Structure formats: structure tokens, C-alpha cells
Amino acid sequence: MSSLAHFIDGRRVAGNSGRVGDVFDPATGAVAARVALASRTEVRDAVESAKRAQPAWASVNPQRRARVLIKFLELVGREQEQLAELLSSEHGKTVADARGDIQRGLEVVEFCAGAPHLLKGGYTDAAGPGIDLYSMRQPLGVAAGITPFNFPAMIPMWMFAPAIACGNAFILKPSERDPSVPLRLAELMMEAGLPAGALNVVNGDREAVDALLDDADVKAVAFVGSSQIAEYVYARACAAGKRAQCFGAAKNHMVVMPDADMDGAADALIGAGYGSAGERCMAISVAVPVGEEAAQALLTRLVPRVESLKIGLPADASADLGPLVTKAHLDRVKDYVALGVDEGAKLVVDGRDFKMQGYEDGFFMGGCLFDEVTPRMRIYREEIFGPVLSVVRARNYEDALSLVSEHEYGNGAAIFTRDGGAARDFASRAQVGMIGVNVPIPTPLAYYTFGGWKRSAFGDLNQHGEDAFRFYTKTKTVTSRWPGGVREGASFVMPTMS
């Protein structure tokens, strides 16, 4: 059985806290590895390493920093298949889905290779009599990222790529459930030319998280996970004077208008609701057909599609979805399904009893489909994070829009329609951060920003895009006047451009 620990100061180091966590093979249910859980002392070692490396890294010009990212893209590209298989084996998502996880991370790295342009300041010649005015973006110092289990490649790259491109050093605390790919990504960054200490990885639990939040040398913290923990991380980081961006849970709706292509809408719901076993913050977990006719047409198409989902081993290229990440998470999702039945929702398709032949101890579950779900039910209000889709019937468009806008989470939403006016109105009025029009998972490309509203996000700036460069830098503005002009004597009034 393999042992996983940390990556500090350019090399893998063994843990010395005496505490370890189990890393499972979701397909078999067996423990595949054990990962060391960092103590505060080990976190401090990583911070010290980052603090030593950061000034020299910041002094490297942006173009040369970008070249390291370009080399990293090449190295990951060469190893992408092996990384996808490794990711799949620890997480449980299919290898094809794991490839997408890695690719979406690489697209942000590609964007960050444009750092020389994105870090340009502004300049105004002759802003006043003999006065020039200019601004510059400078790195914060040491930044940290706390990432979830569901995207062990993508979200770490979304965080460390812009931070490093901006001249910061970075400490990554990935999920202890699937830590192997983040460790390998750090090694590939060193191979690409990043100096030792500029990217460290510490594996751990709450002790490691709190150590990062409390450390005065960590100037910024990024987080993705549940809303409860996102709010905790945001509050504790802000109390310690840090910059913070924290992204939480979601309950993404897909409104299906009566004029929609029903077959296309059903296919979109199947992929968006059940892909990666529903373990995505952008998964569609609520279908909202508008009107009874649309509801019946949609259910008629959804039921056989859910019943025929192919659950298989992560390496099975024909599988639609694999197992969930852990037994504890599988039990949690099944408990939500039981709760929905108790609350009075109609369980149209029940996949709880699915067992994979030969892999009966694996964390497999079939797709579940609820109808007649109401906004009062917990299965509607709370994030389930599993292969469970709820149908909430809306009488009309305004009711559907209200469901989206009044939910406490505001990550993303979609509308399927042939009516341009309805689509335009929905995009304008829906109170969520990301909108899809006939697109079920509206995750923006790397040069736009990713982020939700309400309790799906804490902080002012989103992930990737230009917001990432704003988050990982501070702006300095310089007002300069050189000798040689007319001396005007002392002035005791507020300077203006008058």
C-alpha cells in the first residue's frame, strides 16, 4: 500500500504528525493508499519555504514566468492520460471525465500564460502640471488554496496558475480523499522551471486549514467546498486580515419552456445531472418544466434515460458514470433519497440498490429521479451532490424564474427554449452568477470569470479570468513630478486637477 505525504521546498517529504487518512479505491471499496495529515508545524515549514522563494520569483519578469507555465502545459500534455487514469482511480469519475477535469484546468493555465499583458498597469502623461500618474500590479506574497475532492486537477490549477503567474508563492491544501494528482502537478511545475518553494502541497484536514488561515505570512486564501465551510474559511481569513475568495454549494436549476426541444432538453439533463455521479458544483440538480404539458413530455423522456444509465468501472469507456468518492458520501446521498421519500416527493426511479457485479463493496449507486418536489422540501433546498435529479413543476415562466432567484444558492442556472425574448429576459433577471441558454452547464471559458451569487460565493472576486489577476495582486499608484518646473511654494489644500 502506497504512502502519500507532502511536497515542500521542491521535493516530496514524509509526514511526521503521526496522523494519516485513508485514500480509497471507489470501485472496490478497499483502502488504496494512506495520506499523511499535516500538523501546524508542517504547514509552517511549507509557509517558510514559500516565503523564502517568493521574492526571487517575483523579481522574474512576467514573460519568463509565463514561459514556465507554457512548459508546464507541455509536460502535463505528455502525461495527461496517466494523470487521468490516476485521478479516476482515486475519485471514481470515468477516465473520459477525468480528462475533461485536467483539460479545463489547463485552459486556465493557457490563459495565465498571458500574464505579461494581464499585469500591465496604466499610465497617464501630464495628468497635472508636470505630473505623471501611473499604476502597477504587484504580488501579494504567499497565497494558499484549499480545494475539494470533485476536481482534483482543475481547481488546483485554477488557483495556483494565476497566483504563480502574478509572482506569488503558493501553498495548496488539496482534498485528502484524492491527493495524488495535485502532488504530481507540483512536481511537473518544478520540472517546468518553477523554483523550489514557489509551489508547496500540504495534505491534511481541519488542522492544516486552520494553520493556513491563522498564519500571518499567508496573505490570501482561496477555497472551494461546501457553503458552511466556505463561510467559516472566509470569516476566519478576513478576521486575520487576509484577502479571501470562497466558493460554496449550489442548487442549479434548468428551466424547460413549453417550446423547448424536449429530446434535447432531456439529453442535457441526463448529462448535466448524472455526469460524474452528480459530484459537480455545476451539476443540474433541479429540472423546472413550465406547464403540465411540458412536465409530462419531459418526464416521458427522462424516465427511460435514467433507467438506462450505464454505471460502470471508472476505466470502462462505455460507462456513463462510475462510483461515488467514499462510502460515507454514498451513505449521505442515499440518506437524502430516503428523506425525499419521507417528505412526500415521488421517487420515479430508484437507483439506491444498484450493485456492480464483482465489485459489490464499491461505492456505486444508480440514478435517482424525483417528481412532485416542492420548494419546502430539504431535498430541494440542500445540495445533495450525487446522482439525484428533482423535478419541480412550475405553472408559468414567472414561477420558474422565482424558483431560481429565490433559492439561497446562486451558482448557475439554465433555460431551454426557442424563444429569444424569454431567454434574454431570463439571462437578465435570474439571480445567479452564471447562466446557460440551451447550455446545461454554463461554466465559462478561462478568459471569463467563474463564480456564483448569494450563499454560493463569499468574497468580491471570482475565479479565473481577469478577476484572478486582480485577486492575486495589489495595485500601487504612483504620482510623480520631477524637478525643473516652476516652484509654487507650500500648499495646504487638498490637491486637485483644477
pLDDT digits (tens, 9 = 90+) for 319-347: 999 999 999 999 999 999 999 999 999 99
Residue 487: the pLDDT is 64
Instruction: Return d(Cα 50, Cα 270) in angstroms, integer.
Output: 44
Q: Which three cell numbers stand for residue 176?
A: 485528502
Residue 416: the pLDDT is 98
CA distances from 2 to 5, 187, 202, 372 (A): 10, 18, 17, 47
Edge-to-edge strand ranges of the sheet holding 412-416: 346-349, 368-371, 388-391, 284-289, 252-256, 412-416, 434-437
Q: C-alpha angle 121/127/131, rounded to 5°?
A: 95
Over the stretch 346-379, which tens digit does the pLDDT of each residue have? 999 999 999 999 999 999 999 999 999 999 999 9
CATH number for the domain running over 2-248+456-478:
3.40.605.10
**On the CB side of 450, how many CA atoms lie within 13 Å of its CA?**
22
Instruction: Return d(Cα 490, Cα 145) in angstroms, integer.
Output: 49
Q: Is the pLDDT of residue 435 over 60?
A: yes
Span 480-489, average pLDDT: 74
Over the stretch 299-321, which tens digit does the pLDDT of each residue have? 999 999 999 999 999 999 999 99
Q: Comparing C-alpha atoms, which of 185, 169, 179, 186 is closest to residue 208?
A: 179
Span 76-104, average pLDDT: 97
| Residue with the larger pLDDT of the pair 483 and 420 | 420
Q: Is the pLDDT of residue 498 over 70?
A: no
pTM score of the predicted model: 0.95
What are the extents of the domains in the chain?
2-248+456-478, 252-437
Residue 488: the pLDDT is 67
Residue 478: the pLDDT is 96
What residues contact 57, with CB distance under 8 A and at least 6 apart? 65, 164, 167, 168, 169, 194, 195, 198
Residue 496: the pLDDT is 73
Q: Which three cell numbers stand for residue 82?
A: 496517466
Q: Is the pLDDT of residue 486 over 60?
A: no
**348 touches 339 (CB < 8 A):** no
- Tell me which architecture the domain covering 252-437 has in CATH: 3-Layer(aba) Sandwich (3.40)
Over the stretch 34-63, which tens digit does the pLDDT of each residue have? 999 999 999 999 999 999 999 999 999 999
Residue 495: the pLDDT is 73
Instruction: Return d(Cα 373, Cα 376) in angstroms, integer.
Output: 8
Instruction: Return d(Cα 10, Cα 52) in angstroms, integer.
Output: 12
Q: Which three cell numbers stand for residue 233?
A: 474559511
Over the stretch 128-152, which tens digit does the pLDDT of each residue have? 888 999 999 999 999 999 999 999 9
Report the amino acid identity of residue 440. P
Over the stretch 190-237, which tens digit does the pLDDT of each residue have? 999 999 999 999 999 999 999 999 999 999 999 999 999 999 999 999
Band the pLDDT of 492: cuts 50, 70, 90.
confident
CA distances from 257 to 252, 352, 354, 415, 421 (A): 16, 30, 33, 7, 12
Instruction: Return d(Cα 389, Cα 384) in angstroms, integer.
Output: 9
Residue 315: the pLDDT is 95
Q: 262-267: which pairs have CB atoms within 8 A and are 24 or more residues apart?
A: 262/294, 262/297, 262/298, 262/301, 263/301, 264/416, 264/438, 265/298, 265/301, 265/416, 266/298, 266/301, 266/302, 266/305, 267/305
Q: Is the pLDDT of residue 485 over 80?
A: no
- Do domains 2-248+456-478 and 252-437 share one topology? The answer is no
How many C-beta atoms lie closer than 10 Å to residue 16's C-beta? 14
Instruction: Return d(Cα 147, Cα 106) in angstroms, integer.
Output: 16
Q: Cell match 520569483: residue?
A: 57
What residues contact 299, with CB distance under 8 A and at least 6 apart? 289, 348, 371, 391
Residue 67: the pLDDT is 98
Instruction: Return d(Cα 271, Cα 254) in angstroms, integer.
Output: 12
Catalytic positions: 281
Report the amino acid identity of residue 470. R
Q: Is the pLDDT of residue 394 over 90?
A: yes
Q: What's the mean pLDDT when you consider all of the chain?
A: 96
Q: Is the pLDDT of residue 421 over 60?
A: yes
Residue 482: the pLDDT is 87
Band the pLDDT of 420: cuts 50, 70, 90.
very high
Residue 483: the pLDDT is 79
How many C-beta atoms lie closer than 10 Å to residue 411's C-beta? 28
